Amino acid sequence: MLPAPLPISLVPADWAGEVLRLLVFILPAYVANASPVLLGGHFPIDGGRRAWDGRAWLGPSKTWLGLLSGLAAGFLCSVLMAHLLPGTPLDLWGGARAPYLSAGLALCAGTMAGDLLGSLIKRRLGSPSGSPSFMLDQLTFLLVALAAVVPLGPSADFVFRPFAIVFLVGFTYLVHRAANAFAHAWGLKRVPW
């Protein structure tokens, strides 16, 4: 006798379409995360102050200019998406423009907050600014960005399925590593991670 088919397939039948949809969805977060490398680098958020453990709160890599440029560039990306995508095959929100802006705002705020959280944790663990930290460097921004999208409700459910989460975590890890290696090779970043 043949085994009964699984009730829910973990890999969607149209997995390529799903991957494309997830890439479009996460784009503002990637833009927000990448922009500080190009546009930041001035006015440290912690002002050089030290925490109770004698180490920097965040370190000199986390600056106001980077934070604001990440928020601005990521949100600009969402505004462009809201203008360009409704009515196209890449549309995420059934023709509406506003969800691009609310999702974009949540993703960018979450990305930048997650980036700061990653540095805060690294400093508490004793890792100096710019030192590599497996997972914290690549994934805290993504996880906080995704958490920030939860309040959008059922319309964003496609992001919270096992396939989507596994894809976003794996893809983000690889893209982040590759992008940082390129940024280092082109002289944009001090370290290749």
Footprint on this chain of ligand CTP (rule: CB under 6 A): 36-37, 40-41, 59, 61-63, 65-67, 115, 119, 122, 129-131, 137, 189
CA-CA-CA-CA dihedral for 83, 65, 131, 22, to nearest 10: -10
Q: Which of 31, 77, 137, 156 binds Mg ion (CB under 5 A)?
A: 137
Closest residue to ligand CTP using C-beta atoms: 66
Q: Is 115 in the site for Mg ion (CB under 5 A)?
A: no
CB nearer to Mg ion: give 12 or 41: 41
Pick the piece of the chain touching Mg ion (CB under 5 A) from 84-92, 133-141, 151-159, 169-177: 133-141
Count of beta carbons in the 10 Å neighbourhood of residue 5? 7
What is the C-alpha to C-alpha distance for residues 71 and 61, in angstroms, rounded to an integer?
A: 16
Pick the piece of the chain touching Mg ion (CB under 5 A) from 2-10, 20-28, 99-107, 136-144: 136-144
Contact 71, 101 (CB under 8 A): no
User: Nearest approach, Cβ of 137 to Mg ion (angstroms)?
Assistant: 5
φ/ψ bin of 133: left (φ > 0), alpha (ψ from -120 to 50), beta (otherwise): beta
Q: List phi, psi (to 5°) of 6.
A: -60, 140
Contact partner, 36, from ligand CTP, Mg ion, none, Cβ < 5-8 Å per class? ligand CTP
What is the C-alpha to C-alpha distance for residues 136 and 133, in angstroms, rounded to an integer?
A: 6
CB nearer to ligand CTP: give 96 or 174: 174
Pick the piece of the chain touching Mg ion (CB under 5 A) from 72-80, 83-91, 129-137, 156-164: 129-137
Distances (CA, A) of 44 to 1, 31, 71, 115: 66, 21, 16, 14
Binding interface with Mg ion (CB under 5 A) = 137
